[in-house]
Amino acid sequence: MLVPASTAPSATPNMPPHKRRKPDGKDKAVQCNSPEDSLSPATNSQSSVRSGRTRGRKGRTSRLRAERRIKGLEGDSCKVESAIIKDQEYLDFLAWLKNMGCPRTKLTLAEFSNTGRGMMATKNIKAGEVIVQVPERNLVTMKTLQSIYGARIARYDAFFVSSFGKKVNSHMIIALHIALLVQSPEKSGWLPYLRLLPKKFDTMPVRYPPELLELLPQNAQAHVRKQREKIMADYQCTMDFLHSNNDLLARPLEYEEYEWAWLVVNTRCIYLDAKKQVAADNIALAPMLDFLNHTHDAKTEGFFCTKTKSYQIKTLLPYKKGEQVFINYGPHDNCFILVEYGFVTPDNPYNYVTVDNDFAQLSIPGETAVAKREKMELLDMAGYFNDYVLHRNDVSFRLLVGMRLRLINPFHKSSVATQMAISQWHNVVNGELDQISAENEQQVPVHLERLCDAMLADAKRTLAILARKKTTFPVMHLQQVWIEARDIVLSIIDKIQRKETL
């Protein structure tokens, strides 16, 4: 298995499992898996797999093509061009895989004009075929790291869990392990793999400068804050762990080093068992899966095969020789994919717009501040507070529930009339009635359109700001997110104006 600097032998041993996780018209969006990333996220199933990753080494021939793709927010994408990659680092990696006992595949690394680096089929691939399998000894998991860290973790947990409630987790330990390997890569035996890891994660929102971070949609900003808090908490826990395990270090571990390693794990790890995505020891890093790019319409299955003792990716779609082979991280919208993996995909059917802030700020004629607070409390008690979204063709039921309650006016909880209206509202929520009143129902689309107008203005304002910025991948990604948000809002406004059912 991968061994940190202080314990690694000078020769390359048989290492155990290294685990890895996972519009149209002038605003036509393009595939934005950035070419400056070398390895794309891996996923293990057609259903949601915790997967992916941002591909992170700079593509050597991609800069001009990237400029064209960024400007390609205008116009249809042209024919996809590709070229097989045969640089020395990749050839060394293939030799390393062979020595590690990895089976050969019908895939090779290639540079694609629309996605950057990805995997190309070298032969026709049938539906149902296994496209990649990684032997258990090549996976990096909490289990396979037990011989290095097991006793140390037990000692740490015995003190810190009982005293401070702190406990190590698999993400933290695998990230620490990667960071330690990078401190002395030649001694680890995994140098060919380490060389192909992303050099930086500048397309990840957690790494955005403040002026770009504030241009993310509000829900994405909240997601980034939680991610940053998680990284910092894991780093602090790691520092506590290393306090009594200094012999593992070749030199002090800085926050930036740990953050990089944490993002390596977050963007590349798979779940060995998709049904156990919360299991502490379930995530893994798996060399070779890193090269497969994500698309929402790929159909794949990922699983650990007990017969071959390997993690396998099976495609449920056929591919012809020369085509790029994809995997699927699951049904995620572009905001989620951007925050977790650092890229966006075109024509993503899972996109939606969150309007929690707009709903809270919406001014309802006749609604007092007290009434608004009491309505929000009612929504919270009923389980319908926030998570209000717009899809391209419909408004979420939660938003309709919230809007119907907000439109009960006058609203005095002590009055019989208000209590009757609240009772009617509960009946509508439970499906026992179609509406609170005809007047209430007529006002719903009116105020939804007002809410959409506010969202539309926000999208146009943000796109105008982005248009004045230097063209970079983060700017391109943000443009696509806001173009999609704008188009979703416009589709709902059109639906309202056509008096279609919401």
Which residue from 300, 312, 385, 386 is spatially nearest to 47, judged by alpha carbons?
A: 300
What is the edge-to-edge ordering of all strands in the sheet holding 270-271?
Answer: 140-141, 283-285, 270-271
Question: Tell me, what's the pLDDT at 28?
Answer: 36
Parallel, antiparallel or unpaired: strands 324-327 and 82-84: unpaired
Reply yes or no on domain 25-341 having CATH 3.30.420.40: no
Residues paired with 312 in a beta bridge: 133, 303
Give the span between the Cα atoms of 61 and 37, in whole angstroms. Answer: 12
The residue-averaged pLDDT of 199-223 equals 96
Q: What is the mean pLDDT of the chain?
A: 84
Contact (Cβ atoms closer than 8 angstroms) between residue 20 and residue 268? yes
Domain 353-497 class in CATH: alpha beta
Q: Note the pLDDT tens digit of each residue in 418-443.
A: 999 999 999 999 999 999 999 999 99
- Domain ranges (residues) in the chain: 25-341, 353-497
Percent of the chain with pLDDT over 90: 67
Half-sphere exposure of 324 (CA within 13 A, CB side): 22
Report angle CA 313, 316, 320 to the nearest 5 degrees. 95
Hey, is 292 helix, strand or coil? coil
pLDDT on residue 18: 31
More confident residue, 278 or 285: 285
Kindly report the pTM of this predicted structure.
0.83
| Residue position matching structure tokens 């020891």 | 281
pLDDT of residue 115: 81
Any idea which residue has 């700001």 for tokens?
Answer: 465
Q: What percent of the chain has pLDDT over 70?
A: 81
Which is nearest to 135 in space by CA: 299, 319, 288, 310?
A: 310
Q: What is the dihedral of CA 310, 316, 348, 220, to 10 degrees?
A: -20
Short-list 281, 227, 282, CA closest to 259 = 227
Q: What is the C-alpha to C-alpha distance for residues 171 and 281, in angstroms, rounded to an integer?
A: 9
Contact 374, 330 (CB under 8 A): no
Question: How many CB atoms sit inside 10 A of residue 322's CB?
Answer: 13
Furthest-apart CA atoms within the chain: distance in Å? 82
Q: What is the pLDDT of residues 151-186, one digit of tens each?
A: 999 888 877 665 555 678 899 999 999 999 999 888
48-52, 137-141, 198-202, 387-391: least confident range: 48-52
Establish whether domains 25-341 and 353-497 are of one fold: no
Helix (H) or strand (E) holding 41: none
